Amino acid sequence: MTGDEALPPGTQQIAAGAALRQRRRLSASDQAPWLHQEVASRMLDRLSVIRLQPTAVLQSRPALGGGDEGLRERYPQSTQLWLEPDAEVRALLEKRLRRGFMQSMVDKLRGSAPTELITEPPAGAAQLAWSNMELHAEADKPALVKTWHAGLAVEGCLMFSCLGPDSFIELRPIFAREGWGPPAPDWVDMHDLGDLLVHAGFADPVMDQEHLKLTWGSPQDLLRDLRALGGNLAPARLRGLRTKAWRERLLRALESLRGPDGRLSLSIELVYGHAFKPQPKLKVAATTEVSLDQMRAMVRGAGKH
C-alpha cells in the first residue's frame, strides 16, 4: 500500500509477526501484564454506566486483559466466552481451565455460569463484548472489530481500552537521536478508533482518554517493566540481535528521562471506548416489505432514544 492510498479507519502499521510473538509470550504468564490489570480495574468501574445484565460476556483474548475475575464478580450468572483464535495461546488457556476444574465444579453447584473457550464467537451470542489493552497491538484492527460486532446481540455493548498516541512519547527523540528507528508504532488516536467502530457497524461510540505519568528509580527497572508490557511492534524498528554494549548504551540514553525529582518518567495515554450494536437497517428499495416482527423491533428501538 502506498502513502497516497486511502487507509480504512483505524489502520496502522503493525509488525504482525512481532505482535503474534508478543501475545504468546505475555499469555504464557498466569497473570496479565501489570498495566493491563490496572486498566481492567478502571474499566470495571466504568461498567456502572452500562445498564446491562448480560447472559453472556465475550472476552476478547482474555489472557492479555486481566478483567476476568472482576467480570465474574459483577455478572456471576453470565457465561464467559473466552475468544482466542491463536491455537498456541488457546492451548495455554485450556490448561488453565483444567487446573481450575475443581473450582468450576464449585461454581456449578453455586449456580454460577460456565466458561467457554472459543475460536470465533457465535453470531449474536453475547450482550457485552470486552477487550482490554488489545486493540493497539492488533495488526488487522478492522477485522477484529468486525468479529466483536458479529459476536454481539442487537443492542449489545462493546467496551474496550488500548494505548493512545502519547504513550511512551518521550522515547521517540531518544531513539531518533541514536539512530535506532521508532520505539513503537504510531498508535491510532481515539477519533480514528471511533470512526473504525462506526465503519464496522457500531452506533453511538463514546471515546475518552486518560493520561498517566509513570516513574522509575533506575533505567533497569524501566526496561524490565516495559518488557512486561510487550515489545516494539513498529515495522521500521531496529532489526538484529541486541548486544551487551547496545544495552549499556540504551541505559545511558534513558538517563535523559530523569526529572528534577530524580526519577525517570514516561507518559501513557489510555483510550477507552464503548459503543452499541444497533438494530440492522432495512435496505430501501422501490418497494420495501417489512414484517410485523421487524416493525415492532424498530419501534421498540426508536422508543429507547
User: How many whole angstroms from its chain centre is CA 227?
Assistant: 18
pLDDT, tens digit only, all 305 positions of the chain: 333 344 455 556 899 999 999 999 999 998 999 999 999 999 999 998 888 899 999 999 999 998 999 999 999 999 999 999 999 999 999 998 888 754 554 455 455 688 999 999 999 999 999 999 999 999 999 999 999 999 999 999 999 999 999 999 999 999 999 999 999 999 999 999 999 999 999 999 999 999 999 999 999 999 999 999 998 999 888 776 678 898 999 999 999 999 999 999 999 999 999 999 999 876 655 555 666 666 666 555 555 54
- Give the pLDDT confidence of 199-257 residue by residue, as tens digits: 999 999 999 999 999 999 999 999 999 999 998 999 888 776 678 898 999 999 999 99
Cβ–Cβ under 8 Å, residues 46 and 119:
no
203 sits in which H/E element: strand 203-216
What's the rounded Cα separation, in Å, for the pair 251 and 163? 24
Task: Give the model's pLDDT for residue 297.
Answer: 60
What's the rounded Cα separation, in Å, for the pair 133 and 271? 9
Three-class SS string for 139-153?
Answer: CCHHHHHHHHHHHEE
What's the rounded Cα separation, in Å, for the pair 110 and 177? 60
What's the rounded Cα separation, in Å, for the pair 216 and 150? 42
Take residue 289 and report the three cell numbers written for it.
416489505
Task: Give the model's pLDDT for residue 44.
Answer: 96
Task: Count CB-CB contacts under 10 A for residue 227.
Answer: 11
The amino acid present at 174, given as its one-letter code, is: I
What's the rounded Cα separation, in Å, for the pair 294 and 247? 63
What is the chain's length?
305
Take residue 304 and report the three cell numbers written for it.
429507547
Residues 6+ apart with CB under 8 A from 171: 183, 184, 266
Task: Count CB-CB contacts under 10 A for residue 126.
Answer: 27
Strands 126-132 and 203-216, how do they pair?
Answer: unpaired
pTM of the full predicted structure? 0.85
Cβ–Cβ under 8 Å, residues 12 and 76:
no
- Residue of 88, 71, 100, 118 lying closest to 27 (CA atoms): 88
Superfamily the domain 16-166+184-213+269-303 falls into? Vaccinia Virus protein VP39 (3.40.50.150)
